[in-house]
Amino acid sequence: MTGQFMPLPPDHVPPELMVDFDLFAIPEGVTDPAEIWHGLVRREVPHIFYTPRNGGHWVFLNYDDIVAAYRNSDVFSSHQASMPPMEEWPVLQPVGVDPPDNMAFRRLLAPMFTPKAVREMTDELRRRSSALIEGFAGKGRCDFIADYAEKFPTSAFLYLFGLPEERLDEFLALANVFFRSNDPAAKGEVIGKIFAELEVFFHEKEKNPGNDIASAILAGRDANGDPFAWKDMLNCGFLLFVAGLDTVTNTMAYVWRYLATTPAARRHFRERLDDPDAFLRAIEELMRINAVSNIVRRIKQDCEYKGVQLRRNDRVALPNTLANRDPRVFADPQAIDLDREVNVHVTFGVGPHRCVGSHLAKREIMVSLQEWLRRIPDFELDPHDPASGVFGGSVMGFEKLNLVW
């Protein structure tokens, strides 16, 4: 995380706001990638600082500043906000399009992910979760990530989107490079491969539409009643592809890691299996404390924000894990309170780009916990091999999570 070489700051960055920090680098011995962010707070670095790593970018540490960047798209744009900066970055529909132009695709997608629509998916989610867990419950052990967290939400996404589930491993490999790599060449190559897959897939769906998200995108119409541009449809498919194959997996890994080390939390959920309101309230708290995404915004024009000079095209990293533990907003923020009533976390973002799939993500975690705890009420980290490998970047997580029961 800290290197020997410190380049000179850009001329609009005061030296006192320079901090040598790399969001992709996990120092040896760090077992939780979120710690690289919380370590910044403990070091009392400036709450707005600039790092020369990954092309150079700003970092916001406080809840209020992170929320301001989410809400104010006139200054903090999501258009081609890549990290590190790349010229050929896809315009991700709708999150990579600033308001009001993002609304066309949000209106198209939103009805498919309302609370009611997601509730109607519950039986299918429960069937898939149960089948996976039955496959290893009698063995007394599993690698939670390889055996469940990578398979359940990702195969469910492929089913909902209309992609062939038998190609899950191929698609996961592409998504992993997209999220983990800070090499623009490697990232550019995998972006090209994903778009090539989507091009073929969407043409097949044109000929053989089904009851799936991809077919709904192709059938969608803009405000004038015309079909969307082919490129925009591909960009929307790209966003759903990479989002659907990663974030929930890593959130689940954090949740199960906590439960494996906290018997009282396991008991809390077991006692509320038939109380959906209390169950979901506890899940919200675990999503607050285990936010895995670090979102990027791009400065639209030269401006001043809280006395800091920001230059057009500067990138800004918004670590949700820090916003969600800001003591100015959350009482006793480091404590996990599964009965926390007021929970204004930003795990799914806020404002015009709040995650349209948030209800599905929470439902997937709820169903998974219910099915798991009915079969495996108590479990712990494998004392001989609890975990192997952690990673940072735009989404943080673990490569392995070995559980025993």
* pLDDT of res. 244: 76
* pLDDT of res. 180: 78
- Extract long-range pairs of 288-291: CB within 8 Å, 24+ residues apart: 288/324, 288/330, 288/340, 288/343, 288/345, 288/347, 289/258, 289/324, 289/325, 289/336, 290/34, 290/251, 290/254, 290/255, 290/258, 290/321, 291/320, 291/321, 291/323, 291/324, 291/345, 291/346, 291/347
* pLDDT of res. 8: 66
* pLDDT of res. 4: 45
Q: DSSP letters of 101-120? A: TTHHHHHHHGGGGSHHHHHT
* Across 256-264, average pLDDT: 97
The length of the chain is 405
Q: How confident is the model at residue 88 (pLDDT cuts 50, 70, 90)?
A: confident
pLDDT tens for each residue of 121-153: 999 999 999 999 999 999 999 999 999 999 999
pLDDT tens for each residue of 237-249: 988 888 877 789 9
Q: How confident is the model at residue 1 (pLDDT cuts 50, 70, 90)?
A: very low
The answer to whether residues 94 and 109 touch, using CB atoms and an 8 Å cutoff, is: yes
Q: How confident is the model at residue 387 (pLDDT cuts 50, 70, 90)?
A: low
φ and ψ of 389, to 5 deg? 85, 130
Q: How confident is the model at residue 7 (pLDDT cuts 50, 70, 90)?
A: low
pLDDT tens for each residue of 222-235: 888 999 999 999 99
Residue 251 neighbours by CB under 8 Å, 6+ apart: 287, 290, 292, 361, 365
pTM for the predicted model, two decimal places = 0.92
31-45, 87-101, 304-318, 356-370: which range is least confident on average? 87-101
Q: CA angle, corner 357, sides to 353 and 360, nearest 5?
A: 155
User: pLDDT higher for 96 or 404?
Assistant: 404
For 140-216, list the strands marked E by DSSP. Answer: 141-143
pLDDT tens for each residue of 23-67: 999 998 899 999 999 999 999 999 999 999 999 999 999 999 999
Average pLDDT, the chain: 92
Assigned fold of 92-293+332-404: Cytochrome p450 (1.10.630)
pLDDT tens for each residue of 156-173: 999 999 999 999 889 888
pLDDT tens for each residue of 305-341: 999 999 999 999 999 999 999 999 999 999 999 999 8
* Across 170-197, average pLDDT: 87
Tokens of residue 331, six digits: 């009482």
pLDDT greater than 80 at residue 2: no
